[in-house]
Structure 1
Amino acid sequence: MVAVEAHKSKMTQAREESLHGLVARLDIPVSDISILDCAFTHTSYANEHKSKHINHNQRLEFLGDAVLDLIIGEYLFKTYPDMAEGDLTKIKAATVCEDSLASVSRSLQLGQYLLLGHGERASGGNNRNSILADTFESLIGAIYISTDYQTAMNFVLKHLITYIKQALEGKRGKDYKTLLQEYVQRDGDKHTVYRLLSESGPDHAKTFHMVVEINGVTYEAGSGKSKKIAEQHAAQLTLEKLMAK
C-alpha cells in the first residue's frame, strides 16, 4: 500500500460521519477518512483557508486520471482482442470524457461532499461538469492510494461499465456542436457562435466558461478545462433545452 498524504486539517464530527456514510453507501474499503476528506477538498476551499495549510485534491485528481486511463485501457484491450488501436482509443476517450465522469459523480451524489470556496459554491460549483469530473478522478486516486489497483479497478468498472457500453454503441463522446448546428438549421440557415464568458482557476488548471449565441440570441453557458470542452458543454445544454420545448 502506498503511503497516504495527511490532510492537515481537523474534521468536524459531522464531516467525518458524512464521509463514513459515503464509504458505507459506495461500499469502498477506505479506512482512512482523511484521504477522502482531501479528495473532496477543492482548490478554492484550500485557498480561502491558507493559514490552515489544507491539502486540496489536485494531486489525487492527477493520480486518479492516470489510474482511470489504465483501467479502461486494460479492460478494452483484454475484452476486445480484435479491436483496432484507433477504435480502442476512441472508445476509451468517449468513456472517460468530462461529460461521462460528471454524470457518474451526479449519480453517486459526490457534489454534496465537496468543500468549495464561497465563490465556487455560490456559482454552483458542486454541480459543474468540470469540478464533478475532477472529483470522480480524485476519488479514484484516493481509493487506489489507500487500497490497491484491484479495488480501484472494481470500483471504476462497476460505475463506468454502462458508459463503456454506450460508447461502443456510439452514444457517448458525441460532437454536440455539430448536433446543435444540424438541429437549429432545420428551419433555415442560422449563425451560431461561441463566446468566452470568463476564465477561473490558476494558470495550470484553468476552467473556461463559454456561452452559445444563435442569431444574436444568448442561450446556455458551459464550462470545461479547455475552450473546446466548454463549447461542447454549452452546445449540449443548449440542444437539450431546445429539444425539451
Structure 2
Amino acid sequence: MSALETRLNYEFADRRHLKRALTHRSAGPDNNERLEFLGDGVLNFVIAAELFERLPDAPEGDLSRLRATLVNEPTLAEIADEIGVAELLTLGPSETGDGSRRRDSVRADTVEAVIGAVYIDSGFDATRDLISRLYTDRLEQLPSADDTKDAKTRLQEWLQARGRQRPHYELVRTEGAEHCRTFVAYCRLVDSDVGAEGQGSSRRKAEQVAAMTVLERVRRASSE
C-alpha cells in the first residue's frame, strides 16, 4: 500500500479506506462496490469540469464524447496498469485463479474505487488533485471530437453526407464457451457490394469492428 500511495502521490489518513477500495466483491461484504459508485460520480464531474474549462467553444455533444473517451473502461484499465492496482486487489477464492484480476472491467472498477476512497479520506479538493495527476497527459493530448465518434456513427455520417443509404448489420455467428464468447457480425452497404465481418466480445463490439473496416474501404475507394 505504501508503494501505491507513492505512485498516487497521496497518503491516506485512514488506510482502511484504501484496503476497502482494493477488495473485490468476491472477497466478502466489506468490498469496493460502494466506493466504485462514488468514485465514478466524482470522476465524471471532475473530467466534465476540466473539459468545460479547456474547451470553451466545444458544443455539448463533443464534450460528452470526449468525457466518455476519458472515463471509459479501457482508459481506466490503462490507468490501473500505470499505478499498479491490479496486483494489490484482494479477490475471493473463486476469482483468484480465473484471470479476473486482468479483466478490464475489474481493473477499471478498482481505479474508481480508489478515487472514491480518496474522497472519503480527504474530500473533494484532494480527489480533484488526484484525478488531475492521473489524467495529466490525457488532458494535454485530447483527441479531436470526430475521433471520439464510434465507427458506426462515422460510417453512417459519411454515407449520409453523400446521400447514400444506411448500412445493414447482422449477427453472423457466435463462437466459444458461454463465459468467453466471441461474436461475429457483418456490415453491408445496401447500395453496393461492399461489406466486412468484425469480431468482438459482444455483438456491439463486433459491429463496430465491421463498420470500421467498411469505412476504411469506402474512404480508400473514394480517394482513388
Q: TM-score, normalised by structure 2?
A: 0.69
Gaps of 5+ in 1: 1-18, 47-53, 180-190, 200-208, 240-245
More divergent stretch after superposition (19-28 vs 115-124)? 19-28
C-alpha displacement of 1:103: 0.8
Give the whole-Å Cα distance in 1 for the aligned partners of 2:61 and 2:152: 23
Tell me the equivalent position of 1:146: 121
Give the whole-Å Cα distance in 2 for the aligned partners of 1:221 and 1:131: 19
Q: For 1:34, which of 7, 13, 16 is the aligned residue?
A: 16
C-alpha displacement of 1:94: 0.8
**Is the contact between residue 87 and residue 101 of structure 2 (CA under 8 Å) also seen in structure 1?**
yes
Q: How does 1:1-245 map to 2 (within 5 A)?
A: 19-46=1-28, 54-169=29-144, 175=150, 193=172, 195=174, 197-198=177-178, 209-213=180-184, 222=201, 227=202, 231=205
Give the whole-Å Cα distance in 1 for the aligned partners of 2:141 and 2:171: 28
C-alpha displacement of 1:167: 4.5
Deviations 1:84-139 (CA, angstroms, capped at 9, x unpaired) = 11111110011101010011101111101101112222111111000001000000
**Is the contact between residue 194 and residue 210 of structure 1 (CA under 8 Å) also seen in structure 2?**
no
**Is the contact between residue 144 and residue 151 of structure 1 (CA under 8 Å) also seen in structure 2?**
yes
C-alpha displacement of 1:212: 3.8
Give the whole-Å Cα distance in 2 for the aligned partners of 1:115 and 1:177: 38
TM superposition outliers: structure 1 runs of 4+ over 6 Å? 176-179
| Identity across the alignment (%) | 30
RMSD of the alignment, in Å?
3.3
Give the whole-Å Cα distance in 2 for the aligned partners of 1:121 and 1:141: 24
Decide whether aligned partners of structure 1 residues 155 and 88 sit closer, same or farther in structure 2, where only a CA change above 3 A counts: same
Decide whether aligned partners of structure 1 residues 211 and 96 sit closer, same or farther in structure 2, where only a CA change above 3 A counts: same
Give the whole-Å Cα distance in 2 for the aligned partners of 1:21 and 1:115: 16
For residue 168 of structure 1, give the secondary structure of its aligned residue in structure 2.
Answer: coil
Gaps of 5+ in 2: 155-169, 187-197, 214-224
Paired residue type of 1:38: R
Matched positions, count? 183
